[in-house]
Chain A
Amino acid sequence: MKPHRGQPLYLAFLLHRLSGLGLALFLPFHFYVLGLALEGNAALDEALNWTAAPMFKIAEFGLVFLLAVHFFGGLRLLALENLPWTDRHKNYAAAAVAASFFVACGFLLRAF
Protein backbone atom coordinates (compact mmCIF):
# COMPACT_ATOMS: atom_id res chain seq x y z
CA MET A 1 0.00 0.00 0.00
CA LYS A 2 1.30 3.45 -0.91
CA PRO A 3 2.61 5.27 2.18
CA HIS A 4 0.05 8.08 2.10
CA ARG A 5 -2.76 5.52 2.43
CA GLY A 6 -1.65 4.18 5.80
CA GLN A 7 -3.35 6.77 7.91
CA PRO A 8 -6.55 6.16 9.89
CA LEU A 9 -9.12 8.17 7.95
CA TYR A 10 -7.94 6.73 4.65
CA LEU A 11 -8.40 3.23 6.04
CA ALA A 12 -11.85 4.29 7.26
CA PHE A 13 -12.69 5.42 3.71
CA LEU A 14 -11.41 2.15 2.28
CA LEU A 15 -13.40 0.08 4.75
CA HIS A 16 -16.54 2.08 4.01
CA ARG A 17 -16.13 1.73 0.26
CA LEU A 18 -15.23 -1.98 0.33
CA SER A 19 -18.03 -2.85 2.77
CA GLY A 20 -20.48 -0.97 0.56
CA LEU A 21 -19.21 -2.76 -2.54
CA GLY A 22 -19.46 -6.12 -0.78
CA LEU A 23 -23.02 -5.41 0.31
CA ALA A 24 -24.02 -4.14 -3.14
CA LEU A 25 -22.71 -7.32 -4.75
CA PHE A 26 -24.38 -9.50 -2.10
CA LEU A 27 -27.84 -7.94 -2.43
CA PRO A 28 -28.85 -9.44 -5.80
CA PHE A 29 -28.04 -12.88 -4.44
CA HIS A 30 -29.94 -12.11 -1.22
CA PHE A 31 -33.00 -10.92 -3.15
CA TYR A 32 -32.88 -14.03 -5.35
CA VAL A 33 -32.92 -16.38 -2.38
CA LEU A 34 -35.77 -14.50 -0.67
CA GLY A 35 -37.67 -14.53 -3.98
CA LEU A 36 -37.75 -18.33 -3.77
CA ALA A 37 -40.59 -17.90 -1.27
CA LEU A 38 -42.78 -17.19 -4.29
CA GLU A 39 -42.49 -20.90 -5.01
CA GLY A 40 -43.54 -21.83 -1.49
CA ASN A 41 -41.88 -22.44 1.88
CA ALA A 42 -40.14 -25.61 0.74
CA ALA A 43 -38.27 -23.83 -2.05
CA LEU A 44 -36.91 -21.25 0.39
CA ASP A 45 -36.06 -23.95 2.95
CA GLU A 46 -33.98 -25.81 0.40
CA ALA A 47 -31.82 -22.73 -0.03
CA LEU A 48 -31.73 -22.01 3.70
CA ASN A 49 -30.41 -25.50 4.43
CA TRP A 50 -27.08 -24.32 3.01
CA THR A 51 -26.89 -21.77 5.81
CA ALA A 52 -26.57 -24.48 8.46
CA ALA A 53 -22.98 -25.22 7.40
CA PRO A 54 -20.32 -23.72 9.73
CA MET A 55 -18.47 -22.03 6.85
CA PHE A 56 -21.71 -20.37 5.89
CA LYS A 57 -22.20 -19.05 9.41
CA ILE A 58 -18.69 -17.59 9.32
CA ALA A 59 -19.57 -15.96 6.00
CA GLU A 60 -22.75 -14.55 7.50
CA PHE A 61 -20.69 -13.19 10.39
CA GLY A 62 -18.63 -11.40 7.77
CA LEU A 63 -21.73 -9.99 6.11
CA VAL A 64 -23.16 -8.79 9.43
CA PHE A 65 -19.81 -7.10 10.10
CA LEU A 66 -19.89 -5.42 6.69
CA LEU A 67 -23.42 -4.12 7.25
CA ALA A 68 -22.66 -2.93 10.76
CA VAL A 69 -19.38 -1.23 9.85
CA HIS A 70 -20.94 0.46 6.82
CA PHE A 71 -23.80 1.60 9.05
CA PHE A 72 -21.66 2.98 11.89
CA GLY A 73 -19.17 4.48 9.45
CA GLY A 74 -22.06 6.03 7.56
CA LEU A 75 -23.37 7.66 10.72
CA ARG A 76 -19.90 9.11 11.25
CA LEU A 77 -19.95 10.53 7.70
CA LEU A 78 -23.42 12.04 8.12
CA ALA A 79 -22.09 13.73 11.27
CA LEU A 80 -18.93 14.87 9.45
CA GLU A 81 -20.93 16.47 6.65
CA ASN A 82 -23.63 18.11 8.74
CA LEU A 83 -22.35 18.82 12.24
CA PRO A 84 -19.52 21.20 13.23
CA TRP A 85 -16.07 19.73 12.68
CA THR A 86 -14.49 17.69 15.44
CA ASP A 87 -10.94 16.35 15.59
CA ARG A 88 -12.30 13.10 17.03
CA HIS A 89 -13.06 11.42 13.70
CA LYS A 90 -10.17 9.00 14.04
CA ASN A 91 -11.64 7.90 17.38
CA TYR A 92 -15.12 7.59 15.93
CA ALA A 93 -13.82 5.52 13.03
CA ALA A 94 -12.08 3.16 15.44
CA ALA A 95 -15.21 2.98 17.61
CA ALA A 96 -17.26 2.08 14.53
CA VAL A 97 -15.01 -0.90 13.82
CA ALA A 98 -15.14 -2.00 17.45
CA ALA A 99 -18.92 -1.70 17.68
CA SER A 100 -19.35 -3.58 14.41
CA PHE A 101 -17.12 -6.41 15.61
CA PHE A 102 -19.14 -6.56 18.82
CA VAL A 103 -22.42 -6.75 16.89
CA ALA A 104 -21.07 -9.38 14.50
CA CYS A 105 -19.78 -11.46 17.41
CA GLY A 106 -23.21 -11.26 18.98
CA PHE A 107 -24.56 -12.72 15.78
CA LEU A 108 -21.89 -15.44 15.66
CA LEU A 109 -22.50 -16.52 19.23
CA ARG A 110 -26.17 -17.04 18.50
CA ALA A 111 -25.44 -18.73 15.20
CA PHE A 112 -23.51 -21.58 16.78
Chain B
Amino acid sequence: MVELRLYLAQRISAAIMAPLVLLHLGVMIYAIQGGLSADEILARTRGSSFWGGAYGLFVLAAAVHATIGLRNIMREWWQMTGPLLNGLSWIFGVGLLVAGLRAVVAVVGTA
Protein backbone atom coordinates (compact mmCIF):
# COMPACT_ATOMS: atom_id res chain seq x y z
CA MET B 1 0.00 0.00 0.00
CA VAL B 2 1.74 3.04 -1.38
CA GLU B 3 0.33 5.71 0.89
CA LEU B 4 1.32 3.89 4.07
CA ARG B 5 4.86 3.33 2.79
CA LEU B 6 5.22 7.00 1.83
CA TYR B 7 3.82 8.08 5.20
CA LEU B 8 6.29 5.85 7.07
CA ALA B 9 9.20 6.88 4.85
CA GLN B 10 8.51 10.50 5.63
CA ARG B 11 8.22 9.95 9.39
CA ILE B 12 11.28 7.70 9.55
CA SER B 13 13.38 10.11 7.47
CA ALA B 14 12.22 12.87 9.82
CA ALA B 15 13.35 10.90 12.86
CA ILE B 16 16.73 10.21 11.22
CA MET B 17 17.15 13.90 10.44
CA ALA B 18 16.25 15.12 13.93
CA PRO B 19 19.75 14.80 15.42
CA LEU B 20 21.32 15.83 12.09
CA VAL B 21 19.30 19.06 12.02
CA LEU B 22 20.47 19.87 15.55
CA LEU B 23 24.03 19.20 14.43
CA HIS B 24 23.61 21.39 11.36
CA LEU B 25 21.99 24.25 13.31
CA GLY B 26 24.86 24.03 15.77
CA VAL B 27 27.49 24.12 13.03
CA MET B 28 25.76 27.07 11.34
CA ILE B 29 25.59 29.13 14.51
CA TYR B 30 29.21 28.27 15.32
CA ALA B 31 30.55 28.92 11.83
CA ILE B 32 28.74 32.16 10.99
CA GLN B 33 30.75 34.29 13.39
CA GLY B 34 33.38 36.28 11.52
CA GLY B 35 31.68 35.47 8.24
CA LEU B 36 31.70 32.40 6.07
CA SER B 37 34.85 31.35 4.27
CA ALA B 38 35.58 28.37 2.08
CA ASP B 39 38.86 27.69 3.85
CA GLU B 40 37.19 27.52 7.27
CA ILE B 41 34.34 25.29 6.10
CA LEU B 42 36.43 22.97 3.97
CA ALA B 43 39.17 22.63 6.58
CA ARG B 44 36.49 21.07 8.76
CA THR B 45 34.96 18.79 6.16
CA ARG B 46 37.71 17.73 3.76
CA GLY B 47 38.74 14.12 4.29
CA SER B 48 36.39 13.73 7.23
CA SER B 49 34.49 10.46 7.29
CA PHE B 50 32.35 11.87 10.12
CA TRP B 51 31.08 14.82 8.08
CA GLY B 52 30.88 12.65 4.98
CA GLY B 53 28.73 10.15 6.82
CA ALA B 54 26.62 12.73 8.61
CA TYR B 55 25.93 14.93 5.60
CA GLY B 56 25.55 11.93 3.29
CA LEU B 57 22.84 10.51 5.54
CA PHE B 58 21.31 13.99 5.88
CA VAL B 59 21.08 14.35 2.08
CA LEU B 60 19.54 10.91 1.64
CA ALA B 61 16.91 11.49 4.32
CA ALA B 62 16.21 15.05 3.15
CA ALA B 63 15.71 13.93 -0.44
CA VAL B 64 13.11 11.36 0.67
CA HIS B 65 11.41 13.70 3.15
CA ALA B 66 11.25 16.83 0.98
CA THR B 67 10.00 14.90 -2.04
CA ILE B 68 7.11 13.28 -0.17
CA GLY B 69 6.20 16.62 1.41
CA LEU B 70 6.29 18.37 -1.94
CA ARG B 71 4.16 15.60 -3.43
CA ASN B 72 1.49 16.27 -0.79
CA ILE B 73 1.50 19.96 -1.69
CA MET B 74 1.27 19.25 -5.42
CA ARG B 75 -1.65 16.91 -4.85
CA GLU B 76 -3.59 19.02 -2.36
CA TRP B 77 -2.90 22.61 -3.39
CA TRP B 78 -2.17 22.25 -7.09
CA GLN B 79 -4.61 19.32 -7.66
CA MET B 80 -2.06 17.24 -9.56
CA THR B 81 -2.76 13.54 -10.05
CA GLY B 82 -1.45 10.35 -11.61
CA PRO B 83 1.62 10.27 -13.86
CA LEU B 84 2.21 14.05 -13.69
CA LEU B 85 2.21 14.03 -9.89
CA ASN B 86 4.42 10.96 -9.54
CA GLY B 87 6.68 11.89 -12.46
CA LEU B 88 7.44 15.36 -11.12
CA SER B 89 7.99 13.89 -7.66
CA TRP B 90 10.53 11.38 -8.97
CA ILE B 91 12.34 14.07 -10.94
CA PHE B 92 12.58 16.35 -7.92
CA GLY B 93 13.62 13.53 -5.58
CA VAL B 94 16.31 12.06 -7.78
CA GLY B 95 17.54 15.53 -8.73
CA LEU B 96 17.83 16.58 -5.11
CA LEU B 97 19.58 13.35 -4.15
CA VAL B 98 22.14 13.67 -6.97
CA ALA B 99 22.77 17.36 -6.29
CA GLY B 100 23.06 16.71 -2.57
CA LEU B 101 25.46 13.80 -2.84
CA ARG B 102 27.53 15.84 -5.30
CA ALA B 103 27.68 18.62 -2.72
CA VAL B 104 28.82 16.15 -0.04
CA VAL B 105 31.55 14.85 -2.35
CA ALA B 106 32.49 18.46 -3.11
CA VAL B 107 33.09 19.41 0.53
CA VAL B 108 34.38 16.08 1.84
CA GLY B 109 36.43 14.91 -1.13
CA THR B 110 40.18 15.41 -1.17
CA ALA B 111 40.79 15.13 -4.91
Contact = CB atoms under 8 A, between A and B. Distances in A.
B3 interface: no
Interface in A44-63: 44-45, 48, 51-52, 60
B66 A20 contact: yes
Interface residues of B, number: 34
A41 B38 contact: yes
Contacts of A8: none
Contacts of A31: 96, 99-100, 102-103
Contacts of A78: 11, 14-15
B53 interface: no
A111 B96 CA distance: 28
Nearest to A23: B66
Contact of B32 (A24, A27, A103, A111): A111
A87 interface: no
Contacts of A94: none
Interface residues of A, number: 36
5 contacts: A35-B106, A37-B42, A41-B38, A45-B39, A71-B22
- Cβ-closest 10 pairs across A and B: A34-B103, A44-B38, A31-B99, A37-B106, A45-B38, A24-B66, A31-B103, A41-B38, A110-B33, A38-B106
Interface of A: 17, 20-21, 23-24, 27-28, 30-32, 34-38, 41-42, 44-45, 48, 51-52, 60, 64, 67-68, 71, 74-75, 78, 81, 103, 106-107, 110-111
Interface of B: 11, 14-15, 18, 21-22, 24-25, 28-29, 32-33, 35-39, 41-42, 62, 66, 69-70, 73, 95-96, 99-100, 102-103, 105-107, 109
